[in-house]
Amino acid sequence: MLFADTELNEKIKKAILDLGFTDLTPVQKEAIPFLLNNEEDLIALAQTGTGKTAAFGLPIINKIDTNNKKTQAIVLCPTRELCLQITKDIESYSKYFKTINTTAVYGGANISTQINSLRKGSQIIIGTPGRVIDLIKRKVLKLKSIGFIILDEADEMLNMGFKEDLDFILAETPAQKQTLLFSATMPREVMRISKNYMIRPKTIEIASRNEGAKNVEHHYYLVNARDKYKALRRICDLNPNIYGIIFCRTRRETASIADKLMQDGYNADAIHGELSQAQRDHVMARFRNKKLQLLVATDVAARGIDINELTHVINYNLPDDNEIYVHRSGRTGRAGNKGISVIIAHNRDGRKLQAIEKMIKRSLVLKKVPNGDEICHIQLMNLIEKVVSTEINPQINQYYDSIEKKLTHLKKDEIIKHFVSTEFNRFLSFYEDAADLNIKKKLNKNESKTKGRAEKGYTRFFINIGKNQTLQTHNLIGLINEKTKNRDIPIGKIDIMRNFSFFETPQEFESIILSNLKQANWNGNKVNVEISKEPKNIRKERKSDNFQNKRKKSKNKKSSFKDRLKASRKKYKR
């Protein structure tokens, strides 16, 4: 289906044509005709990068009363980057409507500028929950007369602990409105919002929400935890033309990895919550313009990054929620391009890798971390290719005689060696006698040895809710974020059991976790959190297992002795 065939306003069609879009994506094909002709609520389940902004943005622009300056639609999203990306898209789609105004409201920017823009009149508001609430409380942003509310990346907003914020904002909206919910997944909290605030919504589900993109290859490298950064360097060096995002778990790790890469001469930078908005915009502009090859980011900071040409997504650490891996990998292999999703794994990731394979319904391909000779050969050939394809500048001719005189005493092969050494000595010296970083695939065995023990520098907590209370990984992260009012606490390994769970955080956050989650309530369950000690029943089970194993071994020994005795008797009778 083409945009030209839709019932959209001709001004919108003209703007879309200017952007070079002709065909509708699957989610647009389902959502746009429905929203143009219906007032009903809508739930759309589709992965990141499927054209969701246009799916809700174009019909909303089409329905805006251009003669009325009051706020008529609000889009809520989890991050500043996504807020700015949606605003930019909406402005592009509505550029031929001179009286449609759009305002982005988000934290980390001057609130006075946003207030002035709202007072002048904006029909469409795009905002993050925290700043929207701030403006509502200041009585600058009024939502009692809006006709549309859009929750974009609803699952991620709930993962980040915005549950109470969304309830507050939705309570400020009129009963008669059209509510649109766009999400990659449909966890319990998203279902709750749909039941509480939506009326018989139509549901659109594009393909399977858990499957990876078909044109993305999934690779993993198995190394010791201490060698992860070395492996990252080798993967980057193996792909000289890499253009990708490296995903880390925390702000601190993001900044650390980016700093190391820059110090080691890589064209890299980081994007995380500690940067000012101007710094973030500068980094993103460089990355979009391909002035940066590598962007190191957290999942939250990467929301709103919409680039079609990424060659690689590298998981420096796997996310706690496997569905987030699908979102990450979906950032490459777009617009008909091929992409590679890379996992730098270690022994404790075995079960997670198996769970990801089940989810994406494809095998993860184990790759060997390249040795120094392989990397040097690839980098050298890349250098030669660049030299051959470089256009000769005519100004070189005026210096040619002087250059030739300088090189007359050298033979052809010597000139080539000198030239290559000038450019290439760094690689040759760095990878001389480089160690083998690969480790053998003994995932389950090693996992069992470390299970129940916290990583060094981390505290392991016990919490009295688990699968039977419908707790999932993202629920636990959201609960911690919400109750501590701190979304920057790094959360390590999470184990969800039947009636209880375990999670790890750096030791410095012990007191804040214990004090803020002590009397918390989750889905009607009173929460109890304490520093983990292995429960007695688990110890008993473990001792019992060890005892049974010893008995089996002794039985095997006895039976083998009896067999040998029988055999010797037969031999004697003969």
**Spatial separation of the C-alpha atoms in residues 494 and 461, rounded to whole Å:** 10
In 267-395, at which residue ranges do the beta strands (DSSP E only) sit?
268-271, 294-297, 312-315, 339-345, 365-367
Q: What is the DSSP string of 170-191?
A: HHTS-SSSEEEEEES---HHHH
Mean pLDDT computed over 294-321? 83
User: Which pLDDT does position 48 carry in this prediction?
Assistant: 65
Alpha helices (H) in 174-308, listed in sequence order:
188-197, 228-238, 251-263, 277-288, 299-302
**Spatial separation of the C-alpha atoms in residues 247 and 295, rounded to whole Å:** 9
Q: Is 492 in contact with 532 (CB distance < 8 Å)?
A: no
> Collapsing DSSP states into helix, strand and coil, what is residue 310?
coil
- DSSP state letter for 147: S
Give Cα 402 distance to the centre of its chain: 54
Backbone φ, ψ for residue 125 (5° rounding)? -115, 135
| Band of residue 96 on the pLDDT scale cut at 50, 70, 90 | very high
Structure tokens at 207: 């393909």
| Band of residue 312 on the pLDDT scale cut at 50, 70, 90 | very high
Q: Is 300 in contact with 128 (CB distance < 8 Å)?
A: no
Q: Is the per-residue pLDDT at 303 higher than 70?
A: no
pLDDT above 70: percentage of residues in the chain? 86
**Spatial separation of the C-alpha atoms in residues 185 and 200, rounded to whole Å:** 19
> Collapsing DSSP states into helix, strand and coil, what is residue 461?
strand
Helix (H) or strand (E) holding 126: strand 124-127
> What angle do helix axes 473-484 and 163-171 make, rounded to 10 degrees?
70
Structure tokens at 141: 């942003």
User: Which pLDDT does position 31 carry in this prediction?
Assistant: 92
User: Which pLDDT does position 208 carry in this prediction?
Assistant: 46
Alpha carbon distance, N-terminus to C-terminus of the chain: 88
Pick the more confident residue, 280 or 73: 73
Tell which residue, 48, 62, 63, 58, has the closest CA to residue 28: 58
CATH code 3.60.40.10 for 216-369: no
Pick the more confident residue, 1 or 139: 139
Residue 78 amino acid letter: P
Backbone φ, ψ for residue 69 (5° rounding)? -85, -5
Structure tokens at 128: 């993050």
Superfamily of domain 452-533: RRM (RNA recognition motif) domain (3.30.70.330)
Mean pLDDT of the chain, nearest integer:
83
Kindly list the domain boundaries of the chain, sorted by start residue: 3-205, 216-369, 373-430, 452-533, 536-574
pLDDT above 90: percentage of residues in the chain? 32
> Within 13 A of 509's CA, how many CA atoms are on the CB side?
23
Shared fold status for 3-205 and 216-369: yes
Task: Map tokens 């060890």 to a residue.
Answer: 546
Backbone φ, ψ for residue 461 (5° rounding)? -110, 150
- DSSP state letter for 212: P
**Spatial separation of the C-alpha atoms in residues 30 and 482, rounded to whole Å:** 35
> Collapsing DSSP states into helix, strand and coil, what is residue 493?
coil
User: Which pLDDT does position 111 carry in this prediction?
Assistant: 92
| Band of residue 109 on the pLDDT scale cut at 50, 70, 90 | confident
Backbone φ, ψ for residue 521 (5° rounding)? -130, 135
**Spatial separation of the C-alpha atoms in residues 240 and 235, rounded to whole Å:** 9
Which of these ranges, 377-386, 432-441, 493-502, has the smallest mean pLDDT? 432-441
Q: Is the per-residue pLDDT at 136 higher than 50?
A: yes
Pick the more confident residue, 552 or 141: 141
Q: Is 31 in contact with 60 (CB distance < 8 Å)?
A: no
Task: Map tokens 């009903």 to a residue.
Answer: 40
Superfamily of domain 3-205: P-loop containing nucleotide triphosphate hydrolases (3.40.50.300)
Contacts of 230 (CB under 8 A, 6+ apart): 223, 437
Mean pLDDT computed over 309-323? 87
Dihedral of alpha carbons 513, 514, 516, 519, sign: positive
By CB atoms closer than 10 A (0-12, 13-18, 19+), residue 295 is buried
Cα-Cα-Cα-Cα torsion 471, 474, 475, 479, nearest 10 degrees, comes to 140
Backbone φ, ψ for residue 440 (5° rounding)? -70, 150
**Spatial separation of the C-alpha atoms in residues 339 and 166, rounded to whole Å:** 35
Q: Is the per-residue pLDDT at 78 higher than 80?
A: yes
Encode pLDDT of 523-561 as tens digits: 888 899 998 875 455 444 445 445 555 555 555 555 555
Helix (H) or strand (E) holding 58: helix 52-63
- DSSP state letter for 5: G
Burial 77-96 (b: 16+ CB within 10 A, else e): bbbbbbbbbbbbbbbebbee
- Beta bridge mates, 525: 522
**Spatial separation of the C-alpha atoms in residues 317 and 253, rounded to whole Å:** 10
pTM, to two decimals:
0.59
Which range of 139-153, 185-199, 204-218, 271-285 scores highest in mean pLDDT? It is 139-153
Which range of 88-92, 317-321, 541-545 scores highest in mean pLDDT? It is 88-92
> Collapsing DSSP states into helix, strand and coil, what is residue 556?
helix
Residue 320 amino acid letter: D
Encode pLDDT of 193-227 as tens digits: 788 888 889 988 875 444 446 788 999 999 988 89
Backbone φ, ψ for residue 413 (5° rounding)? -65, -30
| Band of residue 386 on the pLDDT scale cut at 50, 70, 90 | confident
Contacts of 27 (CB under 8 A, 6+ apart): 44, 46, 50, 51, 52, 55, 204, 206
